[in-house]
Structure 1
Amino acid sequence: MASEQAGQHGNADGRFLGLLKKASELKPEELLYRRNGMLFPSLLCTEHNLEQFSKFEAHPEDMCLVSYPKCGFNWVIQLLCGIASTVQNKTEEEKENEPKVVILEFANADRHKLFKNQQSPRVYGTHFHYEDLPTSIIEKKTKILVVSRNPKDTAVSYYHFCQKNPLLPTPTSWDEFFKKFMAGEVAWGSYFDHALVSDKYIDDEGVMVITFEELKEDLAGGVRRIAEFYGFSLSEEQIQNIADKGTFQAMSANSQKTHFNLGNVFFRKGVVGDWRTLFTEEQSREMDAKFESCLAGTKLGAKLKYDLYCKA
């Protein structure tokens, strides 16, 4: 089994290198395409992959993560994997050789087929919001964890991500990217549209919303709440072990294994308040007004603690 899994890893590495080669041959404007009014990375979210996404067969015991890009997706998906591995009582070797995490809209038919028989609880995620999930996730009553982050830090993290990621077009400047972010003219659309859908379902029994900032404040506590949400009772030692491996430093050090040679792209700083390095006063006021009109007075808006984290 270990050699078979290692082979799967090798195939994944080969596919990734193939994507990088294709990206180098495309013009910047060809790295994104529009589908149903929303932009997607053309090499990752192909029409074929999105068709497979809509046909995905969920299980009730799955652990599903929903997050707008750069809100803590890569961090939390690894926490979920840590919880799942603990529940499955996997050895360190088995953890080392387990298949890469599935981002549903990135997976082709072959990847979906491999994933179908993976040991429960299966862990996967998506950047689509709740209302665009495959119907089987809702029908099977799969529990959904939503992770959100304050919009200013999300925008800055997304900007740096696009600057370094060869599979996405590089912004000519922060000012240009900010305008596109505010207009929803980035991959997966508007942050605010995504957040409004999350707020709509925030009280559903099968939905849990947690924020990037909450996890920064108390990582072990966040791991405990997530595990309890999925019905798992972990010891304090197990919780602390998952949290220790889920720190930014630990995940960054392991990123070459989890994220190929783009580890430094996915794990840059992992801090709260980095927006102050790029936002002008005018941009800050514009974002404040947008938040006020969209999310002020909502339950998600309250959880984001905007005044604490986004006011100079």
Structure 2
Amino acid sequence: MSTAEMEERIRLYEERIAKFQNKKPEEFIMEYKGYQYPVTLCSLDTFKALETFEARREDVMLVSYPKCGFNWVLQLLRYIVSCNKTNNEEHPKHEVPIIEFRSPERLQELKNSPSPRVFGTHLHYDEIPAPFFKKKTKMVVVFRNPKDTVVSYFHFCNGNPLLPSCSSWDEFFNKFMAGDVFWGSYFSHAIAWNKHIDDEDVMLLTFEELKEDLTGGIKKIVDFYGFSLSEEQIQSVADRGTFKSMKDNSRNTHFNLGDVFFRKGEIGDWKNHFSDLQSEEMDAKFEECLAGTKLGAKLKYDLYCKT
């Protein structure tokens, strides 16, 4: 991204912040098909345009509930695609990849972008635009244990001026458990994806397994998409793709919100926030929704979410 392009991005971002800085929390919310979305980033026109978006089989799609490692894995996908390029065409490095954040005009411009295009979304399975399923676009789906997810989501909302802040951790926890947050209930997302965990064009990873073995996770992604990367290239992606490396570079990728998008990247921060009663409530919800499922097993709940 050139200096001029970066300055324009920052200018537009600051204008949007100024527009909403005195708004009440409820004024940040738009509803569409039963889900809440930030009006600062989404629009009805975009959702309508996505219904007829021209997806491709070659597209690289990342799907994740908010704060499950989306920005981390997105950067990994970009590094992987960059290494896999077999031509001299330049792929955009810093464009907004979340499809529900793009204006209809910017969605239209993507017709001219070379494959593979890297996209992402936080949309519920049932709300992902049908063209991606019709084209059998391969999707990497990332989940994270729900206790660390809600903690990260709480800090993200309170640190991002384009989202409404919450007055207390207790208030946000209650909203999260009720699904009264942007993109809806974590557990609704998880239940839906559990039904498709064995689909041919789906690969489900967890934040925790990437923390345990980043190189192994990168190899899984490369194999899933059929990319041709050498061992040296895979190691290069792993070296650039550590949480620390991305946080150190976040001023270049996420401007002055770098520390908001890349806060801690740890497993177990929930222990610094949850009360005993909240922990018991989350345990019961997990048992109700995901115990005995394949996704529930991948999340290793007893290992990461029990004291």
TM range (shorter): over 0.9
* Closer, same or farther: CA 187–269 of 1 in aligned 2, 3 Å: same
Is the CA contact (8 Å cut-off) linking 1:208 and 1:229 kept in structure 2? yes
Is the CA contact (8 Å cut-off) linking 1:149 and 1:304 kept in structure 2? yes
1:12: Cα distance to partner? 3.1
Q: Within 2, Cα distance between the matches of 1:48 and 1:159?
A: 28
- Are positions 1:188 and 2:178 aligned together? no
Among 192, 195, 201, the alignment partner of 1:197 is 192
Counterpart of 1:288? 283
1:72: Cα distance to partner? 0.5
- Written as runs of structure 1 = structure 2, the 5 A alignment for 1:159-170 is 159-170=154-165
Counterpart of 2:240? 245
1:99: Cα distance to partner? 4.0
- Written as runs of structure 1 = structure 2, the 5 A alignment for 1:107-118 is 107-118=102-113
Among 27, 36, 58, the alignment partner of 1:39 is 36
1:29: Cα distance to partner? 1.8
- Are positions 1:86 and 2:88 aligned together? no
Q: Within 1, Cα distance between the matches of 2:140 and 2:179?
A: 23
Is the CA contact (8 Å cut-off) linking 2:187 and 2:289 kept in structure 1? yes
Among 42, 48, 57, the alignment partner of 1:60 is 57
Q: The residue matched to 2:209 in structure 1 has which SS?
A: helix
Count of matched residue positions in the alignment of Structure 1 and Structure 2: 307
Counterpart of 1:224? 219
Counterpart of 2:269? 274
Q: Within 2, Cα distance between the matches of 1:261 and 1:77?
A: 19
Q: Within 2, Cα distance between the matches of 1:48 and 1:81?
A: 27
CA deviations 1:72-129 (Å, max 9, x no partner) are 00001111101111111589xx67x634241000000222133222221110100012
Q: The residue matched to 1:102 in structure 2 has which SS?
A: coil
Q: Within 2, Cα distance between the matches of 1:66 and 1:285?
A: 28
Counterpart of 1:212? 207
CA deviations 1:23-80 (Å, max 9, x no partner) are 2142222112222222110110121222223332111001001100000000011111
Q: The residue matched to 2:205 in structure 1 has which SS?
A: strand
RMSD across aligned positions (CA): 1.8
Q: Within 2, Cα distance between the matches of 1:184 and 1:296?
A: 19
Is the CA contact (8 Å cut-off) linking 1:145 and 1:208 kept in structure 2? yes
Q: Within 2, Cα distance between the matches of 1:18 and 1:59?
A: 34
Counterpart of 1:297? 292
Is the CA contact (8 Å cut-off) linking 1:101 and 1:123 kept in structure 2? no
TM-score (norm 2): 0.95
- Written as runs of structure 1 = structure 2, the 5 A alignment for 1:134-149 is 134-149=129-144
Q: Within 1, Cα distance between the matches of 2:62 and 2:220?
A: 14
* Closer, same or farther: CA 163–90 of 1 in aligned 2, 3 Å: farther
Code of the residue aligned with 2:14 in structure 1: it is L
1:19: Cα distance to partner? 1.5
Q: Within 1, Cα distance between the matches of 2:111 and 2:267?
A: 37
TM-score (norm 1): 0.94
Is the CA contact (8 Å cut-off) linking 1:53 and 1:107 kept in structure 2? no
CA deviations 1:132-188 (Å, max 9, x no partner) are 111110000100110000000000000010111111111110000000000000000
Q: Within 2, Cα distance between the matches of 1:24 and 1:184?
A: 25
Among 124, 132, 152, the alignment partner of 1:157 is 152
Q: Within 1, Cα distance between the matches of 2:146 and 2:165?
A: 20
Q: Within 2, Cα distance between the matches of 1:129 and 1:140?
A: 18
Q: The residue matched to 1:65 in structure 2 has which SS?
A: strand
Code of the residue aligned with 2:17 in structure 1: it is L
Q: Within 2, Cα distance between the matches of 1:57 and 1:176?
A: 40
- Which ranges of structure 2 fall in alignment gaps of 5 or more residues? none
Counterpart of 1:73? 70
